[in-house]
Amino acid sequence: MPDATGLELIGKELGAAVLDKSFFRERATLDVDPAAIRAVLAHLREKGFAFLASVHGVDYYPHEPRLGVIYELLDMRSVDRITVRARVPIDAPVLDSVTPDGDYGAGWPTANHQEREVYDMFGVVFRGHPDPRRILMPEDYEGHPQRRDFPVGGEPVLFTRDEAQWLERRE
Amino acid sequence: MEVRRSSREAIDGSSLAVRGLSAEQMLRGGELTGANQPAHLKGTDLEREQLEAHVHERVLTTTLDKAVAWARSNSFFPLSFGLACCAMEQFQTAGPRMDIARFGYEAFRASPRQADLIILAGRVSIKMAPIIRRLYDQMLEPKWAISMGACCSSMGIFNNYALVPADKFMPIDVHVPGCPPRPEALMHGVLKLRKLVQDDPDAGWRERYGAGGTEEVPAGA
């Protein structure tokens, strides 16, 4: 982990792209402007955080902006981690994909499937993703099941004692 | 029945010597006198009632249906198929401790064309359901299905958006509860199925829910 001072320094380097910083239980987190996510990750890669360990989503319902995409970065040389978080609103959940190569340099191919999963479960659309399909749910599935306002779903359990009644309803 | 009872009473200790008869003599029934008479029965011609008793003791009559059901129910060929954690317990039923081979069900087939029993061992996701249905349709009649564990019967702890109970898309003959069921429980389920097949192959899920044939309805039919 960068310590609190190190986090301040990284925040200063990134300037206006950083909306907030937090250092909680030895974990450094940067809240960044979603429009600048590629630039932030590319900059941190230059600083040594070259390995994108995980991309995942969070629904912060009822807080706005609701959806968060979290990038866990790892510096393999000093075994140092930093978390980058971009929050997007529910009515326009669009974020730049970090999978393809671009003017910020090489992309992170590992983000390919993980961004698809975030799209599948939370509905965040990754602009520029090479293969923006669902990955876990069937392709004709409607909705994004990990959102907090998505019904849990499931089936009413049929017990033997209710069976006669159930058959009646069916007829 | 009357004849049998009286003929049984007619057998005393000495006439039990007829147990030594050959199968040919038994089947020809009554040709036990003269040249055909075995040496140890010389001088003791079988009387009519004794002959009745003799045949009654050695010949088993049944119907073809019952004989076929008996043969089928003692040699299920399960499909090698596991979905989740229940599959671990399913493997263990084939292991040395439980040894499903004791009952003749050890021939786990790798192709649904050769199997007549599918054990749904684990949770069925809505993405997996059409694949399982296809496997089930590829199995040849007569075929049976066991739903193993809470998940594919009532969706258990995974009762959410991702799963579908097995009864929704295919007929299940025996549900084995548990999370996961121990191998003993699965054995009990398979033996229940054996009883079902032996007693009345048609009674069960299909009859209760009016599911007559289990063939998939072709598109546009």
pLDDT at A56 over 80: yes
Q: Which residues contact A74 (CB under 8 A, 6 or more apart)?
A: A49, A50, A51, A52, A53, A80, A81
Distance between CA atoms of residues B44 and B50, nearest Å? 11
The token pair that represents A56 in the structure block: 């995942």
> How high is the pLDDT of residue B14?
43
Task: Give the span between the Cα atoms of A112 and A94, in whole angstroms.
Answer: 16
What is residue B16's predicted lDDT score, i.e. its pLDDT? 41
Chain-chain contact of B154 with A154 (C-beta, under 8 angstroms): no
Tell me what the mean pLDDT of segment A98-124 comes to.
91
Query: Which of the residues A157, A160, A170 would you substitute to probe the B interface, choosing the one with the greatest number of B C-beta atoms within 10 Å?
Result: A157
ipTM score: 0.70
pTM comes to 0.70
Q: Which residues of B14-41 are buried (b: 16+ CB within 10 A; e: fewer)?
A: ebeebeebeeebbeeeeebeeeebeeeb
What is the rounded distance in angstroms from the CA atom of residue B118 to the CA atom of residue B69?
A: 18
Tell me if A25 sits within 8 A of A35, measured CB to CB.
no
- Using an 8 Å Cβ cutoff, are B79 and B112 in contact? yes
Q: How many angstroms from the chain centroid is the CA of residue A145?
A: 14
Residue A15 confidence (pLDDT) above 80? yes
Per-residue pLDDT, B48: 67
Nearest to B150 by CA among A141, A146, A138, A155: A155
pLDDT at A84 over 80: yes
Does B160 contact A154 at a Cβ distance shorter than 8 Å?
yes
Interval B64-87: pLDDT, tens:
888 888 888 899 999 998 898 999
CB contact under 8 A, A137 and B154: no
Beta bridge partners of A32: A18, A86
Cβ–Cβ pairs < 8 A, chains A and B: 33
* The pLDDT of residue B168: 84
Residue A40 has pLDDT above 50, yes or no: yes
Residues A155, B155: C-beta atoms closer than 8 Å: yes
Say which range, A26-35, A102-111, B57-66, has the weakest mean pLDDT: B57-66
- From A112's Cα to the closest Cα of chain B, the distance in A is 21
Q: What is the mean pLDDT of residues A41-58?
A: 92
Q: Are A110 and A142 in contact (CB under 8 A)?
A: no
Distance from CA of B207 to the nearest CA of A (A): 13
Instruction: Average pLDDT across each block of 10 residues of chain B; the chain has 221 residues. List them in order.
Output: 41 46 53 60 62 74 84 91 91 90 91 93 90 90 89 85 86 89 92 85 55 52 51
